[in-house]
Chains A and B, each alone.
Chain A
Amino acid sequence: MTTAYCPECDAPISLEDVMIGEILVCPDCGVDLEVLSIDPPQVELAPMEEEDWGE
């Protein structure tokens, strides 16, 4: 089983059937995580959402 660990709370995150770049939600602390690599398993806090003027 491919498992990464949440950088926020260290919860195990299964990386079965996911893609690089996919956004997952940590089941324990609820943060958004981006899958950076499957082998080796690696996740990181997902990109922040910023507000901006523009049209």
Chain B
Amino acid sequence: MDETDLLVGLLRHYSPTGQENQAVTYLVQKMDEAGFQSFVDATGNAVGILGDGPNEIVLLGHIDTVPGEIPVHIEGDLLYGRGAVDAKGPLACFTTAASRVGARPGWRIIVVGALAEESDSRGAKGVLNEYHPRFAIIGEPSGWDHITLGYKGSAWIRYRIEKPMYHTASGKQTACESAVQFWNSLVRKTNEWNESASRVFDQVTPSLQAMHSTRDGFAETAELEINVRLPPAISPENLKQEIEWLRGEGTIDFSDSIPAYRGEKNSALVRAFLQAIRAEEGTPAFSLKTGTADLNLVAPVWRCPCVAYGPGDSSLDHTPGEHISLTEYRQSIQVLTKVLDILTQISP
């Protein structure tokens, strides 16, 4: 399996969320050629399995991208294309490293190219109960010498208030004013929580995403859509309880939420990464991400050592100039190959 051909091929199969089919078919075919037992699972994910046995290592990447096709081309060491870092680079790294390690007695190495990570994560949800890994690695750009230990959580809040209309000279608070008051109270509350949190990873960070208001002559409504990024110390349930008293006459609907996740440093998985990065003459570092990923979803269910890893600079995620260094891509394959080699020598 030529690692550059694989990644270029994946990038040429443009696959924004909802249009992943051709990229899935391509990856399944390439994994089949490389000796994987490969198939499209019931959810539509590309899956390739090497080996057999009671111990599983799941390498969960995602094959969808955000929309916005970027012509695939190489300039010197840089490969351009939508998904080069988020996250076809990591997925191609997983596939290549697994194929180099091959089948190992007692172990199943499972590579998943999951659907829809950029929307509802239905690809990752589809494999939650299919596998019971001893170790799991999620494919996201960390940089070849970094290991991502955690991501913040996220909660979507819809605040809505409806009031009868009053004359503008009445002095009564309008629905819009009540909505603004709610937002200001939420910001004050989060500032209180954040007083002792110096790192953004440990802070509660609200973001006002949309505002709507209507009036029909008899009543007026105001709505706010708010995203709140959550640290490990505040669960979505904690947030809900803490802000309930801020809503006044309005209603709060929690439409979608996921808690933060932060993995342990002292695990066989992290030790394997530290050794492998140093073996490639790198200086390892840990990353804590202020976004959210499939790691948040699978780690609490699988309850095994989990990290996110993959080549690429995540500041290029979702940008029009998305690209990856081919040198770094190859370094990450070397690291992951060694990690898998170390892990599969642990006694089953």
Residues of A in contact with B (beta carbons under 8 Å apart): 19-23, 32, 34, 36, 46-55
Contact = CB atoms under 8 A, between A and B. Distances in A.
B275 A20 contact: yes
A47 B284 contact: yes
Interface stretch (B50-58, B289-297, B327-335): B289-297
Interface residues of B, number: 34
B315 interface: yes
Interface stretch (B40-48, B183-191, B232-240, B263-271): B263-271
A43 B275 CA distance: 13
Contacts of A21: 270-272, 274-275
- The SS class assigned to the B binding surface is mixed
B149 interface: yes
A50 B200 CA distance: 11
Contacts of A51: 199-201, 287-290
Nearest to B290: A53
Contacts of A48: 285-286
Interface in B146-163: 146-149, 151
A8 to B, nearest CB: 17
A31 B45 CA distance: 43
B141 interface: yes
A53 B315 contact: yes
Nearest to B271: A21
Interface of B: 86, 140-142, 146-149, 151, 199-201, 265-266, 270-272, 274-275, 278, 283-293, 314-315, 317
B288 A52 contact: yes
Contact of A46 (B148, B199, B265): B265
A52 B274 contact: no
A52 B266 contact: no
Contact of B289 (A23, A34, A54): A54
A55 B291 contact: yes
Nearest to A49: B286
Given A48-B285, A48-B286, A55-B293, A19 B271 contact: yes
A4 to B, nearest CB: 16
Given A34-B274, A49-B149, A55 B317 contact: yes
A55 B295 CA distance: 10
B288 A22 contact: no
Contact of B271 (A22, A32, A50, A53): A22
Nearest to A32: B265
Contact of A50 (B146, B151, B317): B146
Nearest to A53: B290
Contacts of A50: 146, 285-288
30 contacts: A19-B271, A21-B270, A21-B272, A21-B274, A21-B275, A23-B265, A23-B270, A47-B283, A47-B284, A48-B286, A49-B149, A49-B285, A49-B288, A50-B146, A50-B286, A51-B199, A52-B287, A52-B288, A52-B290, A52-B315, A53-B290, A53-B317, A54-B140, A54-B287, A54-B289, A54-B290, A54-B314, A54-B315, A55-B291, A55-B292
A23 B287 contact: no
Nearest to B284: A47
**From A22, A36, A50, residue with most partner B Cβ within 10 Å:** A50
Closest 3 CB pairs of A and B: A55-B291, A21-B271, A54-B314
A20 B201 CA distance: 28
Contacts of B315: 52-54
Contacts of B270: 21, 23
Contacts of B271: 19-22
